[in-house]
A and B are shown apart, each in its own frame.
Chain A
Amino acid sequence: MSNQIPLVEYLVLGDAPHLVANECTACGARYFDRRNACASCFGTSFASVDIATEGEVRAFTIVTPWMPGTAPYVPAVVDCGGTSVRGNVVNTTPDAEHITLGMKVRLTTVPFGADTAGTEAIGYGFEPIN
């Protein structure tokens, strides 16, 4: 595992990959980035919380890439137990027959290649739950 690195710091790799958020201890607002303060209540105390790995697609689009010959991809907003998460829908055909609003999805990992030291960057996406 030591030769892997998460694409983003809010992705925890390992046996049960999942996302973590910075939760405001005063109001419960959740953020995935480094914080200076809470945008909702201005508090400055945060705790790390695990995010549910299953959720429902609340919005999506299917982007046609600029580079000819590259496959379309599917940015989406996924409601993971009440927390909104952004990520691509993966492991299904990227068209409007296979991606639907309200579809149930689960978190999965997506490799993004290795650097010159052989470390592999691992990102995440959401795949349909059949």
Chain B
Amino acid sequence: MANEDLWILGINMTKFGKHPDKDVVDLAAEAAMAALADGGVTMADMGVLAAGNLMGAAAGVGQQLQKQIGQTGIPVFNVANACATGATAIRTVIMAIKAGECEMGLAVGVEKLSGAGMLGAGMGVAASDTWTPSGRFGAVSSLEGKTGTDMMPGVFAQVGMEYGHKYGGTSFELFARISEKNHRNSTLNPLAAIQKDMSLEQIMNEPMIAYPNTRAMCSANSDGAAAAVIVSGEKLRTLSAEQQKRAVKISASVLTSDPYEEGCQILPNVNTLTRMAAKQAYELAGIGPEDLDLVELHDCFATAELVHYDNLMLCPEGGAVDFFNSGATWRDGSTPVNVSGGLESKGHPIAATGIANIWEICHHLRGEAGPRQIEGAKVGLAHVIGLGSACGVHILEKSGL
């Protein structure tokens, strides 16, 4: 049982964007009910539910969802793991099934974010009329903007610049061209929050948020949900031929956190934990990066996409710039990356993102991606990272059943 492959039986994502008329539970219910229908099952078949809603992490979105779509008494795990929350929900269901606790489960991620502005926690220090040291740094004031920045745009800008310092070859224009690729891809994805082809000049002339990322190079805050039904191989074999044919094999599911390295508490190191997760996933799946037909990676900012080419070992170490310049990651390249449009245009409803990336891969492996179908796709990789940090990598394969 423990070594048997698990499968995605049903999966769905809502349109990402603005949903002013729907609340968090509406969006979660829409994705969850559609994922159940996609898999040809109901809440009565589910043995576990894992649900994430980062902005409402204390509210118990899993039970709120059950009260709308089916209260069956199953265990609920409400999970929160920054931008890796959705992948963590999936991982939780997988662990429950692998442990033999149940044979089928539902993972849901949902967020309402449109209009939320740029995200990132400052180190809050209460204002006082006399300077009083407090907190772990003995700070007399909020440090945000005074000793660097903890805001996401500034952090991920530095991540890309650090790569440029280490290996050379980066420029404002290079990062903007990565964004140009993803915005081009979004024009084929009707579920993307922003479907707008943008020229390199337009992207570079957008307002600068944190050099070298302009507004078009930052992920779009949006509302949305995604959900997946996961099933054991043993149970899948008892289901219909159609269900077996559309099921997608989970060849690897890995979640890591950042190990200690010099400087990792100064600027978050998003590299090592991603490389660790990728390495483990390739080993588990018995698949190499050269076998991947498409990749959905966490381009929360254009600068982040570049470093993850390297971290996911899609290119030789230090070779991400040459790899991108070769055209490899465009739709018609050897390793298409973010054919969904990526977070920069598809949108980034935080807890939904880690399941939506998997949905995109499944969509292609099932041959159901319409105009943006990567022809003959058999293997794909989905990656997310949440600062703090948590990294999820899933490798998925087309059903051979």
Taking Cβ atoms with an 8 Å cutoff, the residues of A that contact B are 5-10, 29-34, 39-40, 57-65, 73, 75-77, 82-88, 96, 101-102, 110, 112, 115-117, 119, 121, 123-124
Of the A-B pairs whose beta carbons lie under 8 Å apart in the complex, a sample of 27, sorted by A's number, is A5-B133, A7-B143, A10-B137, A10-B138, A32-B265, A33-B136, A33-B137, A33-B265, A34-B136, A59-B267, A60-B161, A61-B153, A61-B157, A64-B210, A76-B148, A77-B148, A77-B162, A82-B262, A83-B262, A84-B267, A86-B147, A87-B148, A96-B211, A96-B212, A101-B161, A110-B146, A117-B130
- Rank and list the top 9 A-B pairs by shortest CB-CB distance, nearest first: A9-B138, A84-B263, A61-B157, A59-B162, A75-B148, A62-B211, A33-B136, A86-B148, A59-B158
By beta carbon, the residue of chain B nearest A124 is B147
Whether the pair B158, A60 counts as a contact (CB closer than 8 A) is yes
Whether the pair A29, B165 counts as a contact (CB closer than 8 A) is no
Whole-angstrom CA separation of A123 from B210 in the bound complex = 22
Whether the pair A65, B148 counts as a contact (CB closer than 8 A) is no
Whether the pair B267, A5 counts as a contact (CB closer than 8 A) is no
Whole-angstrom CA separation of A75 from B150 in the bound complex = 9
Whole-angstrom CA separation of A104 from B210 in the bound complex = 22
Whether the pair B159, A7 counts as a contact (CB closer than 8 A) is no
Whether the pair A77, B147 counts as a contact (CB closer than 8 A) is no
Q: What A residues does B265 contact at CB under 8 A?
A: 31-33, 39
| Closest-CB distance, B307 to chain A (whole angstroms) | 11
| Closest-CB distance, B156 to chain A (whole angstroms) | 9
B139 touches A (CB below 8 Å): yes
Q: What B residues does A63 contact at CB under 8 A?
A: 145, 149, 151, 153-154, 209-211
6 additional A-B pairs beyond A8-B140, A10-B137, A83-B262, beta carbons within 8 Å, are A5-B140, A7-B146, A59-B165, A61-B158, A84-B263, A87-B148
Whether the pair B143, A62 counts as a contact (CB closer than 8 A) is no
Interface-central residue, A8, A34, A40, A82, by most chain B CB under 10 Å: A8
By beta carbon, the residue of chain B nearest A118 is B130
Whether the pair A29, B131 counts as a contact (CB closer than 8 A) is no
| Closest-CB distance, B317 to chain A (whole angstroms) | 18
| Closest-CB distance, B146 to chain A (whole angstroms) | 5
Interface-central residue, A75, A85, A121, by most chain B CB under 10 Å: A75
Whole-angstrom CA separation of A76 from B148 in the bound complex = 6
Question: What DSSP secondary structure best describes chain B's contact surface?
Answer: loop
Contact partner of B129 (CB less than 8 A), chosen from A6, A85, A115, is: A115
| Closest-CB distance, B192 to chain A (whole angstroms) | 26
| Closest-CB distance, B308 to chain A (whole angstroms) | 16
Whether the pair B137, A32 counts as a contact (CB closer than 8 A) is yes
Whether the pair A115, B148 counts as a contact (CB closer than 8 A) is no
Query: Known contacts A60-B158, A77-B162, A86-B266; is A115 also within 8 Å of B131 by CB?
Result: yes
Whole-angstrom CA separation of A60 from B157 in the bound complex = 7
Whether the pair B131, A5 counts as a contact (CB closer than 8 A) is yes
Whether the pair A39, B267 counts as a contact (CB closer than 8 A) is no
| Closest-CB distance, A23 to chain B (whole angstroms) | 12
Query: Known contacts A62-B211, A86-B147, A115-B130; is A9 also within 8 Å of B137 by CB?
Result: yes
| Closest-CB distance, B390 to chain A (whole angstroms) | 16
Whether the pair B145, A58 counts as a contact (CB closer than 8 A) is no
Whether the pair A58, B162 counts as a contact (CB closer than 8 A) is yes
Whether the pair B137, A8 counts as a contact (CB closer than 8 A) is yes
Whole-angstrom CA separation of A102 from B147 in the bound complex = 19
B74 touches A (CB below 8 Å): no
B141 touches A (CB below 8 Å): yes
Q: What B residues does A86 contact at CB under 8 A?
A: 147-148, 266-267
B60 touches A (CB below 8 Å): no
